[in-house]
Amino acid sequence: MVKISVLAMVIHILARMTDIIWHGLPTLFKICEQSAMDRFDSMRLFTRVVERRSFTAAAA
């Protein structure tokens, strides 16, 4: 009887852990996606600054 209750408890704990992990995965993907977009925006801004400086230097 004790083995069954311990097994049931282990199964319950594993099920809860799986629910928590699967529930948190979309958040991890959103964080990675946001990080990639932030890097893209930073690179685009850097490119604009370099282009503007190049055009200013060429016009001078």
State pLDDT tens for residues 2-43.
566 777 888 888 888 777 666 666 666 677 777 878 888 888
pTM over 0.85: no
Which residue has 């958040």 as its token pair? 27
17 domain-assigned:
no
Using the predicted structure, report yes or no on whether residue 51 has a pLDDT greater than 80: yes
20 domain-assigned:
no
46 domain-assigned:
yes
15 domain-assigned:
no
Per mean pLDDT, which of 9-13, 37-41, 44-48, 53-57 is the most reliable? 44-48
1 domain-assigned:
no
52 domain-assigned:
yes
**Can you give the pLDDT at residue 5?**
79
16 domain-assigned:
no
The whole-angstrom separation of Cα 38 and Cα 44 is 10
Number of domains in the chain: 1
The whole-angstrom separation of Cα 16 and Cα 20 is 6
Residue span of the structural domain in which 49 resides: 25-60
